[in-house]
Structure 1
């Protein structure tokens, strides 16, 4: 079994779409509206959805410890695109796992773990 996508609630769909496009190159794959109050957009690469952004009708509160792990080609390049206050840890190499990682936050404070094999 493989994961199809992860869904997160966002306070401003346009801001989140811009963030995921600018930092990760994710583009809208599918967008639908369940009602006048609920709008969802799946974003990903090459028509493969990775994250479902669900526009919230109230404040968004990311949970402690929860995060999305995203593979990137170059952790340092991805972090370089971000304001310093979005980077919460790294980039750093974890030699025993043969990965380079960084933890960053999106516009709503969701924690994203960026992973690059080394």
Structure 2
């Protein structure tokens, strides 16, 4: 691998001590696991690879992956936990027990003021087909690919209001020029 990353002020070469580090997952807090799991499994085709419950602290973690042909997920719970924490690009949905029954409960999505967290992103093989799929499944849009200044990029919302960017990599070659 000869690519050493784009260079900007503040960028330093990776240290030997960070060898083997990888981004494993992003965590989103969810109000109702049944609704959130239905959304991510139905609309995005993700699978729950591990659920961990923490009864004393009253919360559950659901780790979702977009599994591909050839992925070998262990059947044994302990081995699957180790496998889960060694993957790239998982989505962790954290449910604090009881929030699903609180009518006025909602998490901050990061895009309302004050802004903070912005979004997660899915790359799709065909943006037009993905848009048709989202339309057929009544997915709420923040922005369609033909709207705004940034064309060929869509933003949808999940059931908790978190933004999800949708891109087709092949359409983005000139992005930022």
TM over 0.5: yes
Greater displacement, 60-69 / 12-21:
60-69
Quick check: 1:111 aligned with 2:163?
yes
Question: Which structure 1 residue ranges, 5 or more long, are not aligned?
Answer: none
Q: What is the CA-CA distance between 1:14 and the residue it aligns to?
A: 1.1
Per the normalisation by structure 1, the TM-score is 0.81
- The equivalent residue for 2:92 is 52
- Are residues 2 and 79 of structure 1, via their aligned partners in 2, closer, same or farther at CA, if it must alter by over 3 Å? farther
* Corresponding residue SS for 1:82: helix
Query: Hey, what's the Cα distance between the residues in 1 that align with 2:62 and 2:45?
Result: 15
Higher relative contact order by CA 8 Å / sep ≥ 6: 1 or 2?
A: 1
Q: 1:61 aligns with which of 108, 121, 127?
A: 108
- Are residues 85 and 69 of structure 1, via their aligned partners in 2, closer, same or farther at CA, if it must alter by over 3 Å? closer
Q: 1:101 aligns with which of 153, 167, 174?
A: 153
Greater displacement, 42-51 / 10-19:
42-51
* Corresponding residue SS for 2:166: strand
Q: What is the CA-CA distance between 1:87 and the residue it aligns to?
A: 0.9
- The equivalent residue for 1:43 is 64
Greater displacement, 57-66 / 20-29:
57-66
Query: Hey, what's the Cα distance between the residues in 1 that align with 2:153 and 2:125?
Result: 11
Query: Hey, what's the Cα distance between the residues in 1 that align with 2:157 and 2:127?
Result: 14
Query: Hey, what's the Cα distance between the residues in 2 that align with 1:44 and 1:29?
Result: 7
Asked whether the 8 Å contact 1:16–1:107 carries over to 2, the reply is yes
Q: 1:27 aligns with which of 39, 42, 47?
A: 47
Query: Hey, what's the Cα distance between the residues in 2 that align with 1:100 and 1:5?
Result: 26
* Corresponding residue SS for 1:24: coil
